Structure 1
Amino acid sequence: MNNYGKYFEEFSVGDKIDHALTKTILESDNNLFCLLTMNHHPVHIDEEYCKKQQHGRILVVGTLVFSLIVGISVADISGKAIANLDYESIQHKNPVFIGDTLRAESEILHMKESMTKKDRGIIYVETRAYNQKNQLVLIFRRNVLIKKRMGTNDK
């Protein structure tokens, strides 16, 4: 896994990354996530209930959408991360439904070197997710602590 991800020096402010992975959300994905996270709200699991609600069909759990998009971005953003320091400004812009296919893109907004350790730096990145109709469904920002090429054993 030494070649997985990028070092801090390989990023630049303004970089735009179209993540190659996409994911079609299956009913089983949503159901399993509901079970694992104990989210049993009927809007996520009860088709008959949903028919009487605003969207008329099951909504995918927002935290599943968020988790999938973070995962889609790992190879390009946090593959060499030491830690995700924070997630902020998580915005669900449009609903996601079973059968939707999601893609993501990220932009490097800011970079700074660590004040205490020379072998790492922090990138501030915004990630946006879209469905198959190119509708924006999610935006979030995060600070990621990333290894520098120097001072590591990775080659």
Structure 2
Amino acid sequence: MTTKLSALTGRNNYFEDFSVGLVIRHARGKTMEPLENVLITNLVMNTAQGHFNEDAMKASAFKQRISYGGVNFSLIMGLASQDTCENALAELGLDNIRLMQPVFHGDTLYAYSEVLEVKDADREDAGEVTFRHYGVNQRDEQIFQGDRRVLLKRRSHWGDR
């Protein structure tokens, strides 16, 4: 028995499903755990003490460790991916990355996305979509904004027929 690859992805996230102005509120949220922040901060050799030195941060304006921005926007992009990029053939670009509020251990992040542009690609089995991803915390404060351009499969070529 063989399973078509298209059966493993969503049915409403092909190129044809997106139009300019569409806004998607993504279903899942993710609480920022010390594990994500400290592990990735150390893996990328970010030496800013604000991410891993609790004692030093007690004397700061924040009074606690802050999460590394790379972790914050990666989580938002991940929360958005199932609905927007699951059928991507390629990531074409990330642009206009803005980190707007600090994120602390224990904050829960949520994402939503807006379609900025939909256009044909230089191949007939895919098209380009540009999304603006937004991240908010549990208080609905915007913590992130960034644009992502992807090459998405066309249902006409990749979907079940």
Question: Which TM-score band applies after superposition, normalised by the shorter structure?
Answer: over 0.9
**SS at the partner of 1:31?**
helix
Deviation per CA, 1:109-129, whole angstroms, max 9, x where unpaired? 110011x21111111110100
Q: Give the letter aligned to residue 42 of structure 1.
A: Q
Return the TM-score normalized by structure 1: 0.94
Q: Give the letter aligned to residue 129 of structure 1.
A: G
1:150 is aligned to 2:156? yes
Aligned residues: CA RMSD: 1.2
1:30 is aligned to 2:37? yes
In 2, Cα distance between equivalents of 1:28 and 1:123: 33
From 35, 39, 49, the equivalent of 1:42 is: 49
Q: Pairwise mapping of residues 5-154 of structure 1 onto structure 2 (< 5 A)?
A: 5=10, 6-114=13-121, 116-152=122-158, 154=159
From 2, 7, 16, the equivalent of 2:6 is: 2
Over 3 Å off, 4+ runs: none
In 1, Cα distance between equivalents of 2:120 and 2:68: 36
Deviation per CA, 1:98-152, whole angstroms, max 9, x where unpaired? 00000000000110011x2111111111010000011000000111110101222
Return the TM-score normalized by structure 2: 0.90
In 2, Cα distance between equivalents of 1:28 and 1:119: 40
Q: Give the letter aligned to residue 28 of structure 1.
A: L
In 1, Cα distance between equivalents of 2:38 and 2:155: 41
Q: CA deviation at 1:21?
A: 1.3
Q: CA deviation at 1:35?
A: 2.3
Q: Give the letter aligned to residue 149 of structure 2.
A: N
Higher mean C-alpha deviation, range 1-10 or range 82-91: 1-10
The runs of 5 or more residues in structure 2 that have no matched partner are: none
In 1, Cα distance between equivalents of 2:117 and 2:68: 30
Number of residue equivalences:
153
